[in-house]
Structure 1
Amino acid sequence: MRPLSFRSQILLLMLVPLLVATALLGWLSYREASEALAQGAIRAVGISANAREQTLVTRLRRQQERASGFLRLVASDCAAKKDSERAECLHESLTDFMTTEGAIGARLVVPGLEPLLVGELSAALEDMTPLPPGQVVRFEPKQDEAERAYDLLVQEGEMRLVLRFSAAILNAVFQERYGLGKSGETFLADSQGLFITDARYPGHSGHNRSHPIDARPMRECLSGHDAEMLAPDYRGVEVIHAFRFIEEIGGGCIMAHIEQSEAFAPARVLRARVAQVSVILAALAVGLSFIFARRLSGPVARLTEKARALRAEDFDVTVQAEGPRELRTFAETFAKMAHSLQASMGERERLLNEVEAERARLELLSGLSRALAESRLALEPVLSTTCRQLAERVGDVCTLRLVSADGQWLELRALHARDVGVEARARVVLESRPQRVSEGLSARVLASGEPLLVPVVTQELLAQYRAMLPPEYQDHLLRDEPHSLAILPLRSLGRSLGVLTLYRLAPGPAYTEDDLLLFREVADRAALAIENARLFQQAQEAVRIREDLVAVVSHDLRNPISAISMSASVLLKRDGLQDWQAKGLSRIYSAADRAIRMIRDLLDSTQARVGGIPVEPRPLDFHELARHVVEEVQLAHPERSIFFQPGGDAHGAWDADRMAQVITNLVGNAVQHSPEGTPVRVVSRRRGGEVLLEVHNEGPPIPAEELPTLFAPFRRGKSKGGGAVGSVGLGLFISRQIVEAHGGTIEVRSEDGEGTTFTVHLPLKNEGPGTLEVPSPHVSSPL
């Protein structure tokens, strides 16, 4: 089959889309317009239904308001009269009000008087019950051919008024059919689907209020919904429905209709006009397609050849502008596009290079940050990590020198190279000769604090450095000559820490100013990491020295102070001592005993921080241990009242000496921190699988801000006199470590008006001797 000519293809390509587009646009226009007309008609019916609903509800509520106002008026006007006159006054007022309102019957109930009945149907209102909430009136059920009526009930205090109105007065609300066209109608139906107002089309279902309206919209409305829909009406005619459920009349419906044939008539007219316009446009499209196909076929064919050249990446192609003005513009644009593509390819390559460089930069920084974080503030891993990351990512060789302690030398602390052989030779060369701070290029960098970039290392510079080396090491330098060099200062807190040097060997690319920006950022991070590592080492060394000093001094002081205590004790037992001698010796003995306790606490604190406090549980009766310790504290404080109360079986396994230390600390603290004359209560009892020790004292509570650090080491509380307690502040800290070494817990509760209570929880079963690791004294133990 012979292929179609280019002109025929252009004609088909233009004609077919134009015809399809014309038909599609015509159909879419008709559909959108018809939908808009339909929605407008439906909206108009809905607006009509809303208007009838608003008018009806407003009318009924106003009748209700006027009836309530009538009750308030007659209550004030007729209240002061005698019963006979009062009844006559109420009857006259009710007759006038019923006439004014157009009611056909009324019944008024007033306390103390017989109910007043006015109108022919007033007797039927005697059993009127209150309406449900939200309902304003009640329509009487359909009774044969009797006229429909509705009742309105209002109540003010003990007065109640019932009015009956004819439903015919509501016809005026629904006779006006504005907005519904010639075929439209509106009417009101009750909760059974029976007409309340007159229908426009008699002789059908629901007419003369004899049968319910059997239509889907009516059923939807009576179920409590408000909506618009297309469906047959009570005559079976297709109409647009709008229905509104009226709760105020007890569940009736307002219906608004307009026949679809009338509502959608504009859409049918529109369809005919759209069809006519579509035919005209299609004819024009056919004619214009022939014309454009003829004029476009020649220039387009030539442009196609130029496009093939561009596809072959021939961006120097020349495009001749010919044909219609638009086609000439297209040809000129085509030529500019070819030149733009040529420029864009170069720009694309440049951007790709920049993106790749930025990616490498971010990878270097992220890798260095991650590696420094993993070094855990150890100086040597920080130095080694920095050099390794730089050598592997941005340079062939990296060296890191730090200023010595005396400030005279640059000590080589880290060296790394990509190639193992290069690293070995570089280490031999760099370690062959120590470097002074005041010589070489590093001296210039340290003095200025600015980095030095040598993009290309000259032979003159190499000769100067080679001359500084011993002859046996010069061959190593000749073998691995640096091609490019960057030296960066390491500074922190205004002082020089050392220099970072990066080498790139030939034939690698030279370092640039962009590389130097990256190196400066890396150097700053490395300097900060080095400074942090040094500070961390200094802090660790200071902690170790302090702990060693406390341990040594405490241990060495215990023997002489024990001798002082024993000597004072012996002297106190002698007869014939004068009062001043006895008082002096008592003070010496008390001071020595307090010093021994402080030394014991210091030794326990040091032991707790180093390896944990050892405990040796042995079977014992916790009640007896607690009683014995409380008696000892009572002897030391005879002026205070200390009550002990045991409860239950408390046999278990604990370290008696350590637990006695805990009880002594807690009871002693309770005595020291409570007002004189107040008791201290100690309770030891069993609860489940544990023993509870509770030490309670009265007085002001512990401030809330001190509770989180109450068990921290070296925390000294305030005594009952307001001054600092005469201790080193380790009692509660050591007590907590002893309790936790037994597998228990200790807690405190202190509130205003209730005093302070320390509670120790100790499990009855204990596996045997053990120790507990405790935090550093620099970290407060949580409560």
Structure 2
Amino acid sequence: MNGNRHSHGPPGENCTKTEQLQRRAQRWWRHPLVGYLMAFPLVALALIVPTIEALWHINNYFIGSLCFIATAIVGLLWGVGPALFTIILSVLALDFFIIPPIYVLSFYRPTNFISLLPFIIAQLFILFLIVLRERDHQRIQAAEQKARDRAHELAINNQALQESNTKLERMDQLKDLFISQASHELKTPITTIRGQVQIALRRLSTQQTLPEPLMPLPAQLEKVEAQTIRLHALVDDLLDLSSFQSKQIPLRIALCDLNRLCQNVVEDQEALSGYRIEMELPPSPLLLQADCERLSQVLTNLLTNAIKYSPSEASIRLCLKQEQARVLLGVHNSGSRIPEELQEHIFEPFYRAPGAQASSKKGWGLGLAISKEIVERHGGKLWVESSEEEGTTFFVSLPTPSSATETVG
């Protein structure tokens, strides 16, 4: 097995390192050592013209002009060090081969040094320009490298984010599938248990007297039936919540009389709970295009919660009215206040406020979440307002036909 296949670090990092190695391999000739070596032929080429002029006794006051080109080429390609070396080399070459006495190094003499001084100053000025250019070039390279690294990092993060989103979507689909299948599978045994309990209760009710050991049996079966009803309601709530969140349940839109709907729900809740519920309804029918059955479910959830979490002496009031482009429905109770920091959380699935958890009232924390989904599917809004002085009111705002824009499939 080839050991070179083993890698360390993430693939993106290995790719970046490979690109850097490739760039370095392609630019080996830009190494400073190559610049030091190239200084010799470039300076030699720069001295060819003044050497020929000296042999032909041609007076040229710019004998070292080509050395500037050599210095500039070396500095631009190989940096400051090789450029400085080129300056020194050109000074020595001019002094040795061109400036009399030739073949003798005499630049240290005052007269020769003064004659070379303008040349040296001009060369150093070129070197200074090269230093500035090199510094700017390094800044640009650093900025480009930083931009490449940032772009590479963003690409990796974006890929990781996309993978995470895909996994979350897959997990959400699996969750919905599990809830749907589990709920359907639970319904059959729950229905069977409930049916068998009801049959047993009917048979026991036909018996005028029961043996002593069987006397507690009807009460126990009634408890079993109550728990199966509760479990069946939970399964229905889970199915509703999952289906509404995945937009799988279409709303059956039809003309709905909200006045009549409120009266029917209130009558049912008063009969079941024994509470007196006050109603404030418009004098004439209030008609709305909506799913009447689902809105009845919302109102039932709100009234059930109001009854469940209110003391026996608390007042419960339902108010329905038309406001310009919307219908506003409010369910008020004078029970305990819901803290402001909890008011957003109570609409989350399975969330129950600490006060509700501590109470003896049973619940799963699904009613308000389902109600919120139903109201929002109608293009409306569900919220709560609560204070010690005013009590707690749940509001449902629904758009009227002229303002409703939601198309329900």
Tell whether the structures are fold-level matches, with TM greater than 0.5.
Answer: yes
- Counterpart position of 1:261: none
The range that moved more, 741-750 or 609-618, is 609-618
The structure richer in helix per residue is 2
Root-mean-square deviation (Å) = 3.9
Query: How far is 1:607 from its partner?
Result: 1.0
SS at 2:233's partner residue? helix
Pairing 1:209-358 to 2, within 5 Å after superposition? 305=62, 316-317=90-91, 334-341=118-125, 354=138, 357-358=141-142
Identity of aligned residues (%): 24
2:188 to 559, 562, 571: 559
Amino acid of the structure 1 residue aligned with 2:300:
T
Deviation at 1:728, TM superposition (A): 2.6
Compared CA separation, residues 556 and 577, structure 1 to 2 (3 A) = farther
**Which amino acid is the alignment partner of residue 701 of structure 1?**
R
Query: 1:251-650 to 2 correspondence within 5 Å?
Result: 305=62, 316-317=90-91, 334-341=118-125, 354=138, 357-358=141-142, 361-372=145-156, 374-375=158-159, 377-378=161-162, 533=163, 538-569=167-198, 572=201, 574-575=205-206, 576=208, 580-638=216-274, 640-648=275-283, 649-650=285-286
SS in 1 for 2:318: strand
Report the Cα offset of residue 663 of structure 1.
0.8
One-letter code aligned to 1:546: K
Q: Which residue of 1 aligns with 2:77?
A: none
State the Cα distance separating 1:566 from its structure 2 match: 4.0
Which residue in 2 is equivalent to 1:688? Answer: 324
Q: What runs of 5+ residues in structure 2 fail to find an aligned partner?
A: 1-58, 72-86, 100-105
Query: Kindly tell me: are residues 306 and 699 of structure 1, through their superposed partners in 2, closer, same or farther at Cα, counting changes over 3 Å?
Result: farther
**1:695–1:758 Cα contact (<8 Å) kept:** yes
Measured in 1, the distance between the counterparts of 2:268 and 2:406 equals: 28
1:669 counterpart residue number: 305
Report deviation, 1:374: 4.9
Change (3 A) 1:770 1:667: same
What SS does the aligned partner of 1:647 have?
coil
- How far residue 724 of structure 1 moved from its aligned partner, in angstroms, is 7.4
Which of 737, 741, 749 is equivalent to 2:377? 741
Taking the aligned partners of 1:672 and 1:706, their CA distance within structure 2 comes to 18
Q: TM-score, normalised by structure 2?
A: 0.63
Tell me the TM-score normalized by structure 1.
0.35
Within-5 A mapping of 1:102-121? none
Classify 1:344/1:729 alpha carbon distance in 2 versus 1 (closer, same or farther; 3 Å). Answer: same
Alignment of 1:692-703 (within 5 A): 692-703=328-339
1:756 is matched with 392
Using a 3 Å threshold, how does the CA distance of structure 1 residues 733 and 338 change in structure 2: closer, same or farther? same
Query: For residues 255-283 of structure 1, what are the alpha-carbon distances to aligned partners after superposition, in whole Å with 9 as ceiling and x for unaligned?
Result: xxxxxxxxxxxxxxxxxxxxxxxxxxxxx
Give the residue type in structure 1 aligned to 2:359.
G
Q: How many residues align?
A: 311
Q: What CA distance in whole angstroms lies between the structure 2 residues aligned with 1:687 and 1:374?
A: 47
Question: How many Å apart are 1:693 and its aligned residue?
Answer: 1.5
Shift, 1:610, TM fit: 2.1
**Code of the aligned partner of 1:647:** P
Query: What amino acid maps onto 1:361 in structure 2?
Result: Q
CA distance in 1, matches of 2:69, 2:187: 97
Alpha carbons of structure 1 residues 308 and 689: separation in structure 2 relative to 1, 3 Å = closer
Residue identity in the other structure for 1:560: P
* Matched residue type, 1:745: K
Larger Rg: 1
8 Å contact 1:568–1:585 — kept in the other structure?
A: yes
Q: 1:727 aligns with which of 359, 363, 387?
A: 363
Structure 1 gaps, min length 5? 1-301, 379-532, 772-783
Q: 1:351 to 1:642 in 2, by over 3 A?
A: same
Instruction: Pick closer, same or farther for the CA change 1:588–1:768 going to 2, 3 Å.
Output: farther
